């Protein structure tokens, strides 16, 4: 399987409003079309893009995106907020942008979303294992601390004197 979309392109996926999304300018670059043309096609077919497929970022969201991603610095002074496409929205783009390159790229983007989901799931499983290990360690430390406390309590009890005893009554 020869992949057009390199693994580092998974960094083009962002999280906004609880969705994993890709930004219009990144998609336009991948599809090799101007961002303006991509937006035109979306507006002509807006009924195909409900809010859970595509939404416009707010100014604050755009500022956050620009602050976190140096390569999108050109958006900083743009008066137009970028469009964000969910995985389903990206899939819908293939029906709007009909070039061969768009279709091939769309397949690779779907694979990137799948790898991204797998990575998140893998991290979640790792997190569960770490919590299990942490609980075991806490239990072991508690056991050791209880034993140390017991030894410490034992050491504070008065001892019988050891050694030669002098009889004080004589």
Q: What is the pLDDT of residue 2?
A: 43
Task: Yes or no: say if 27 and 86 are a contact pair by the CB < 8 Å rule.
Answer: no
User: Count of CB atoms within 10 A of residue 69's CB?
Assistant: 15
List all residues 6 or more positions away from 55 whose beta carbon is below 8 Å from its beta carbon: 17, 83, 84
Distances (CA, A) of 109 to 8, 11, 35, 73: 12, 11, 17, 23
Q: What is the pLDDT of residue 153?
A: 73
Of 68, 60, 59, the residue nearest 14 (C-alpha): 68
Q: What is the pLDDT of residue 58?
A: 92
Q: Taking the chain (170 residues) in consecutive chunks of 10 residues, what is each chunk's mean pLDDT?
A: 51 87 89 88 92 92 87 82 90 78 76 78 79 83 81 69 72
Distances (CA, A) of 58 to 12, 65, 83: 19, 10, 10
Q: What is the pLDDT of residue 32?
A: 84
Q: What is the pLDDT of residue 125?
A: 79
Q: What is the pLDDT of residue 57?
A: 92
Q: What is the pLDDT of residue 156?
A: 64
Of 50, 12, 44, 57, the residue nearest 31 (C-alpha): 12
């Amino acid at each position: 399987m020869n992949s057009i979309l390199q693994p580092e392109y998974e960094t083009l996926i962002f999280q906004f409003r609880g969705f994993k999304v890709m930004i219009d300018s990144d998609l336009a670059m991948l599809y090799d079309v101007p961002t303006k043309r991509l937006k035109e096609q979306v507006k002509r077919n807006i009924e195909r893009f409900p809010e859970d497929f595509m939404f416009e970022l707010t100014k604050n969201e755009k500022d956050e995106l620009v602050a976190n991603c140096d390569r999108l610095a050109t958006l900083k002074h743009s008066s137009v907020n970028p469009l964000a496409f969910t995985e389903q929205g990206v899939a819908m783009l293939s029906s709007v942008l009909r070039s061969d390159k768009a279709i091939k790229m769309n397949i690779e983007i779907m694979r990137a979303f799948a790898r991204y989901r797998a990575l998140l799931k893998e991290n979640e499983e790792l997190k569960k294992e770490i919590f299990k290990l942490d609980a075991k360690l806490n239990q072991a430390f508690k056991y050791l601390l209880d034993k140390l406390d017991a030894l410490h309590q034992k050491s504070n009890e008065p001892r019988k004197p050891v050694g030669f005893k002098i009889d004080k009554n004589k």
